[in-house]
Amino acid sequence: MKWGWVESNPALLASPLKVAAARVVAPTVEQLIKILEEAKAVHPQWGAFFMLAALTGMRRGEHRIELL
């Protein structure tokens, strides 16, 4: 379109794909405690990361972690 090579924009005829909403189930308090303990046992920074995520309600894609 920009360079005049086509008369119409074929993307205007496309329909977006249907995406099913994922159902997210939060862990119980007991499950969360176990997750935090296991993460801390692997590496102290993992424990801190998961604690931060649990306390702030961090969503997928809102985190970045670098272990030393």
Tens digit of each residue's pLDDT (9 = 90 or more) over 5-64: 888 888 888 998 888 887 878 889 999 999 999 999 999 999 998 898 888 876 666 656
Please state, in angstroms and rounded to a whole number, the distance separating the CA atoms of residues 20 and 11. 23
Reported pTM: 0.53
Please state, in angstroms and rounded to a whole number, the distance separating the CA atoms of residues 39 and 37. 6
